[in-house]
Amino acid sequence: MILVLIVSNLRLMIENFKKYGVLICIRCHDYRRQDVVYGSILYLLVPCHLFVAYVIELAAAQQAKGAVARTKKSEDGDRKSGQNEREQETFNAAWLLISAAHGINATLNLVIATYVVYYHIHHPGIGTLCEMHAVIVWLKTCSYAFTNRDLRHALLHPSSTSSIPDLYKSCPYPQNVTIKNLTYFWWAPTLIYQPVYSRTERIRWPFVFKRLLEVVGLSITIWIASAQYAAPLLQNSLSTISELNLFSILERLMKLSTISVFCWLAGFFALFQSFLTALAEVMRFGDREFYGDWWNSYSVRAYWSSWNKPVFHFMKRHIYSPLVGRGVPPRVAQILTFLFSGLLHELLVGVPTHNILGVAFAGMVFQLPLIFLTDPLEKMKSINGKMLGNMIFWISFCLVGQPLAALLYFFAWQAKFGSVSRPQLDFGIPGWKR
């Protein structure tokens, strides 16, 4: 299959080199010293919000232990009803204060990082890394607060119908509220906090080095493909977009789909198969199911629930399930969860490119009709229905999603800032200075 792909695209590769020459330039960049300084500061300060959450949870644990002690004392002796009511009011007020503190801390994490990236980091690559880091820490901070809230509730209401998993019993609340426990969660390749995770016995360092070599090799491959093939295609598309030439735009989308899917697949493998697996090995993290066989998805829903398992599990545990538990219909909860995911996608794309276009969010919203369209196809007993669902997924994945978003955000970037590369080189394309 690889040989067929190489041969089928060999003509395009030769044509590219004949027309543009070698576009790869190590010294050609557009990042500023300010970008590196602010990016480094964000990288160091963003995780501090996790440790602020730890301090908040320490205070919450002390309050919970005090409440348990007072409850036992009231059971042993006679207490006046008025005194019990005052203690309950004090406890409820403290509970709300803890929730507010967690909410403010997590919100400040995302707001501050987004503000700095949007207004002070010019380079979209550096901005994307900073914004992604902030979103990951924000999700971890939220999960840390939500899970400890549930554990605290189970401690205060031991007769509740909700049961604690057996795995957690080796580190019951509040014994899990320690710096060591939080630091492990900070670096663990998961977005869902647990007091205890399944662990492997040892670290296989040769395995780690192989995975890291894959990350480096694939990163270089993506950089070369983007500079040599994607950049000319995007730049040549500016005139067609400005003139709203629909047939030319469609032709550019089809031409861009090959390189965009190639870069996406290489990035997917580098992140989920190589980097996260290497990190899991170093952290001796036992659960390494970071993705499923999304390429065989018979519906768009199956793709979104299998290509990024850490995010899917977070959405299901902390957004979808609580909504359903509070009486929201499952279909409405699914839509709300998807809209929330769309907002995160817009943050990750629009903020680093300094263009909040809503394209990434709209792209997620337009997935909803495809989900409802392909759900019945997946449930069909006939293989034809499943094949049709898989075809719809791949067509939307290759043509409508990434290439169109790349064109629109690149067009908006060029309209706002001009070329993103230096030095200025003319490749014989009218209006193109690189």
**Residues carrying an active site annotation:** 345
- List C-alpha distances in Å: 262 to 5, 226, 266, 386, 403: 11, 10, 6, 25, 11
Q: Give the closest residue to 53 by CA, choosing from 171, 117, 155, 137.
A: 137
Bridge partners (DSSP) of residue 199 are 285
Phi/psi at 305 (nearest 5 deg)?
A: -95, 0
Residue 100, classed as helix, strand or coil, is helix
Query: Is 403 within 8 Å of 251 (Cβ atoms)?
Result: no
Query: Residue 382 in 3-state DSSP?
Result: coil
Residue type, 412: A
Cβ neighbours of residue 217 closer than 8 Å, sequence gap 6 or more:
none
> Residue 122 contacts by C-beta under 8 Å, 6 or more apart in sequence?
30, 31, 32, 34, 35, 354, 417
| Site of tokens 């400040």 | 108
> How far is residue 190's CA from residue 385's CA, in Å, rounded to a whole number?
35
| CB burial readout 150-169, b (16+ within 10 A) else e | ebbebbbeeeeeeebeeebe
**Tokens describing residue 164:** 């604690």
Residue 261 zone, left/alpha/beta (φ > 0; ψ -120 to 50; rest): alpha
Distance of CA 322 to the CA centre of its chain: 20
Identity of the amino acid at 395: I
C-alpha span between 196 and 190 (Å, rounded): 12
Query: How is residue 134 written in tokens?
Result: 């902030």
Element spanning 109, H or E: helix 81-120
